Amino acid sequence: MCGIVGFIGNQQAYPILIKGLKRLEYRGYDSSGVSMIENQEFNQYKCKGKVADLEALVSGKDISGTIGIGHTRWATHGVPNDVNAHPHLSGDGNLSLIHNGIIENYATLKEALMEQGHVFKSDTDTEVLVHFIEDIMSKTGSDLFEAVRVALCEVVGAYAIVVMDRRHPNRLVCAKKSSPLVIGIGAEGDYFIASDATPFIEYTKNVVYLEDEEVALIDRQSGLKIVTIQNQQKDPYIHELELKLEAIEKGGYDSFMLKEIHEQPRSIHDSIRGRLNLNHGMLKMSGIDRHEEIWMNANRIIIVACGTSWHAGLVAEYLFEEFARIPTEVEYASEFRYRDPIIQQGDIVIAISQSGETADTLAAIELAKEKGAFIFGVCNVVGSTISRATHSGAYTHAGPEIGVASTKAFTAQVAVLYLIALSVADKRGTLSKERLHRLMAELSTIPDKVEEVLKTNDLVESIAAIYKDHRNALYLGRGYSFPVALEGALKLKEISYIHAEGYPAAEMKHGPIALIDEEMPVFVIATQGHSYEKVVSNIQEVKARKGKIIAIVTAGDKTVSELADHSIEIPKTDDSLVPIVSVIPLQLLSYHVAVMRGCNVDQPRNLAKSVTVE
C-alpha cells in the first residue's frame, strides 16, 4: 500500500525520492507526489496516476532541495485525484506531511479543527493530521518534533508519517504505528526514510527499524533522536541489511512476476538449505529447537494469515495433522481478530506473511498474544513488523518479492512449513525414522522438480492462448491439492481479472457443477496419489457436461491425459509435496493469460503488495 520516501542530507533530494518511489511502485498505488524545501519554500508537486505522470508534471519546474519527502498513495479516504494525493500541507502552508495508514478518529479531529476555523481541501484523513500538528504548534509554541509526538498521543489508528517544516529545513520528523518505516543511515550525514529498505539500498546497509509509537527526529547537526509518544528516549539500534540491489531488479525478464516464478528452484533451495541435513538425517529449525517444550506439549495449532499465505496455511494444516498429529485450524486473520477466539493452554499460533506487514495478521497476533498464546512467525521480509512481534519463527528465504501476485513466497512458505512439520513430528516421535528420512530426501529433490516443471512454459502458454478470452474458470483439487486449486484461482483472478473459483473437487456436485458447460474451463490437479481415482471420477462428471478439462498430471499418466482436453505433466513426488510442484504451471498460466489480455501483471488494478490497512 502507500509508499513513503524521505531524504535529508548533502545531495539533491528529488532524484533519490523519485527513484525510491519507483522502487515502491510494487506496493500498489493510484497517485503520487513529492515535496522538497529550497530557500524555506516548498517545491511540491502531486498528481493522480503513476510516478511517470509525476515526472512529466515536474518537468521544467524547480525541484531543488536537499531535504524532501515522496509518496505513492493507495486511496482509502477519498478517490484517487490530484487533491487527495500526498503530500498534504498544513493550513498555514508551513508543514508538509505524507502518511501511510488510516487515522480512525479523523472525523472527530476534523470536526474540532473546523470549529476552530481550519479549512480542508481534500477528503483525506492525512490532511486532518497535518492541520492537527499545526494547531498544536501554534497553541503550545512547541517545535515540530514535540508537536508530532503530542498529536500522535491523540491519534487512533495506523500511521507511518514523515513531516517537514519549511521554516526549518534542517529537520525531518517521522513516526510509525502498525505501518512500516525504516531509516537508512548513509555516509556523511545523509539520512533516508522509507516504507522498506528498497529505495535506498545502494546508499546504505545500515538501518534503524522504527518501532510502534516511536517518533524520530533527524537533524542535520545532531543526527538521529528517537522518543516514544510517551516521551521516553530510545537508543537507535542499527541493523545491517543483507539485501542486494540485483534482488530488486528485473534481471532481463519482462516482469517481476515472471522473474519470480523462474526463481523458485533457487528460492525453495535457499529456504531449505542449512535446515536439512540428509547425511545425518537431521533437521535444524532453530526457532523450533529453542522452544522444544512448547512444541512437545502443543495441543492445537491455529494458523492465521491472509490471501496466498492463508493458502500456504491450508497446506500446513494437512502437514501438521498428518506428520505431527497436532489438531490444526487455519483462520483468515481478519475473521480471527474480530471474534472472541478461544485460546487455551498448549495452543500455538502460527502467523504466515510474506511482507510481515499485513495489518489483519498483525492484529490477530496481538490478540492471540493478549490471550496468552505462543506465537510463531513465518515471514519473508527480515526485520518486518510481524517477524518482530512473534515469540519465535522461521524465515522463508525467497528474497524480495516485488510482483504483487505472490508466487515464490508461496512455495517458500510451504517448504518452510514442511520443515517445521517434519521437525515437530521428529521431536514428538509421530513419524517413523524411515518415513521421516524419505520425506526429507524427497523435499531436497523439489528444487530440481520445480526446474523441470518450468520447462512446460511453452505448453502452458499455448493453453493460455486458448482460454484467455473466457470469462470464468473453475479450479479443483482434493487433499493437498485443494489449497492449490484455491491458489490457482486466486492467481488467475488477481492478475487477469477473469472470475475464477477454487473448490475441493468433491464439492463440485454440491453446487458448482451447475456452472459447467462447454464454455467452462476446469483446471484439475489430478496427480497420482491418495485420491487419484476419486479425482478421475470428478473429471468424468465435468466431461459428461461438456466442460473443458485442463489437468495437472503425474509424468507418464495415461488415464487422465486421455480424458482431459489438455494435460500438463509434473514429476512424481509424495502427495504432501505436490502443492509446491503443481502450483507452478498454474502460476505460469495466469501470467500468460494476463499478458495476452494486456494486463499489468506486476501491478494489477486495485491491489497492493503490502496490505497495511484493515
Q: Which residues are catalytic?
A: 2, 609
Residues numbered 349 to 368 that lie near ligand F6R (CB under 6 A) are 353-355, 358, 361
Minimum CB–partner distance for residue 311 and ligand F6R (Å): 8
Minimum CB–partner distance for residue 74 and ligand F6R (Å): 13
User: With respect to ligand F6R, which residue has the nearer C-beta, 7 or 376?
Assistant: 376
Minimum CB–partner distance for residue 574 and ligand F6R (Å): 25
Of 413, 363, 422, 364, the C-alpha closest to 393 is 413
Contact flag: residue 308 with ligand F6R (CB under 6 A): yes
Site string for ligand F6R, 248-287 (x = CB under 6 A): ----------------------------------------
Minimum CB–partner distance for residue 259 and ligand F6R (Å): 15
User: With respect to ligand F6R, which residue has the nearer C-beta, 126 or 354?
Assistant: 354
Minimum CB–partner distance for residue 137 and ligand F6R (Å): 37
What is the DSSP code (8-state) at residue 520?
Answer: -
Residues numbered 169 to 228 that lie near ligand F6R (CB under 6 A) are none
Contact flag: residue 90 with ligand F6R (CB under 6 A): no
Minimum CB–partner distance for residue 260 and ligand F6R (Å): 11
Residue of the chain from 406, 531, 538, 573 that contacts ligand F6R (CB under 6 A): 406
CA distance 249 to 254: 11
User: With respect to ligand F6R, which residue has the nearer C-beta, 426 or 494?
Assistant: 494
CA distance 34 to 27: 17
Minimum CB–partner distance for residue 196 and ligand F6R (Å): 12
Of 606, 112, 192, the C-alpha closest to 405 is 606
Q: Please write down the long-range contacts of 55-64, taking CB distance under 8 Å and 24 or more positions apart.
A: 55/18, 58/14, 58/34, 62/38, 63/12, 63/14, 63/34, 63/36, 64/12, 64/14, 64/36, 64/38
Site string for ligand F6R, 566-595 (x = CB under 6 A): ------------------------------
Contact flag: residue 13 with ligand F6R (CB under 6 A): no
Count residues contacting ligand F6R (CB under 6 A)?
Answer: 14
Residues 251, 255, 260, 266: what is their CA dihedral angle, to the nearest 10 degrees?
-30
CA distance 559 to 421: 33
Residues numbered 374 to 393 that lie near ligand F6R (CB under 6 A) are none
* Residue pair 307/275 in contact by the 8 Å Cβ criterion: no
Q: Please write down the long-range contacts of 385-388, taking CB distance under 8 Å and 24 or more positions apart.
A: 385/178, 385/180, 385/212, 385/356, 385/357, 386/351, 386/353, 386/356, 386/357, 386/358, 386/361, 386/362, 387/356, 388/209, 388/211
Cell numbers 506486476 correspond to what residue?
Answer: 602
Of 386, 387, 412, the C-alpha closest to 399 is 412
Which whole-number Å values give the CA distances from 415 to 3, 45, 127, 451, in the listed order? 30, 45, 44, 15
User: With respect to ligand F6R, which residue has the nearer C-beta, 84 or 380?
Assistant: 380
User: With respect to ligand F6R, which residue has the nearer C-beta, 354 or 531?
Assistant: 354
Residues 6+ apart with CB under 8 A from 187: 203, 204
User: With respect to ligand F6R, which residue has the nearer C-beta, 43 or 255?
Assistant: 255
User: With respect to ligand F6R, which residue has the nearer C-beta, 347 or 401?
Assistant: 401
CA distance 325 to 425: 8
Question: CA angle 275-359-214, nearest 5°?
Answer: 95
Minimum CB–partner distance for residue 598 and ligand F6R (Å): 20
Contact flag: residue 612 with ligand F6R (CB under 6 A): no
CA distance 313 to 276: 21
User: With respect to ligand F6R, which residue has the nearer C-beta, 88 or 262?
Assistant: 262
Residues 123-157 as b/e (b if ≥16 CB within 10 A, e otherwise) read: ebbbbbbbbbbbbbbeeeeeebbbbbbbbbeebeb
Minimum CB–partner distance for residue 378 and ligand F6R (Å): 9
Q: For the chain, how big is the Rg over CA atoms in Å? A: 26
**191 SS3 class:** strand
Of 358, 346, 248, the C-alpha closest to 313 is 358
From 49-57, 72-80, 133-141, 348-356, span contacting ligand F6R (CB under 6 A): 348-356
CA distance 58 to 285: 51
Contact flag: residue 309 with ligand F6R (CB under 6 A): yes
Of 550, 614, 610, the C-alpha closest to 27 is 610
Contact flag: residue 494 with ligand F6R (CB under 6 A): yes
Contact flag: residue 313 with ligand F6R (CB under 6 A): no
Residue of the chain from 375, 405, 570, 599 that contacts ligand F6R (CB under 6 A): 405
Phi, psi for residue 340 in degrees, rounded to 5: -115, 75
Q: Which amino acid is at 201?
A: I
From 89-97, 205-213, 269-277, 301-309, span contacting ligand F6R (CB under 6 A): 301-309
User: With respect to ligand F6R, which residue has the nearer C-beta, 90 or 308?
Assistant: 308
DSSP string, 46-80: EEES-HHHHHHHHTTS----SEEEEEEE--SSS-S
From 40-48, 268-276, 305-313, 586-594, span contacting ligand F6R (CB under 6 A): 305-313
CA distance 118 to 110: 8
User: With respect to ligand F6R, which residue has the nearer C-beta, 96 or 355?
Assistant: 355
Cα atoms in the Cβ-side hemisphere of radius 13 Å centred on 161: 33
* Residue pair 450/265 in contact by the 8 Å Cβ criterion: yes
Q: Which residue is nearest to ligand F6R (CB)?
A: 307
Minimum CB–partner distance for residue 353 and ligand F6R (Å): 3
User: With respect to ligand F6R, which residue has the nearer C-beta, 127 or 212?
Assistant: 212
From 35-43, 101-109, 302-310, 527-535, span contacting ligand F6R (CB under 6 A): 302-310
Minimum CB–partner distance for residue 579 and ligand F6R (Å): 15
From 55-63, 246-254, 307-315, 523-531, span contacting ligand F6R (CB under 6 A): 307-315
Judged by the rule CB under 6 A, the positions of this chain that interact with ligand F6R are: 306-309, 353-355, 358, 361, 405-406, 490, 494, 611
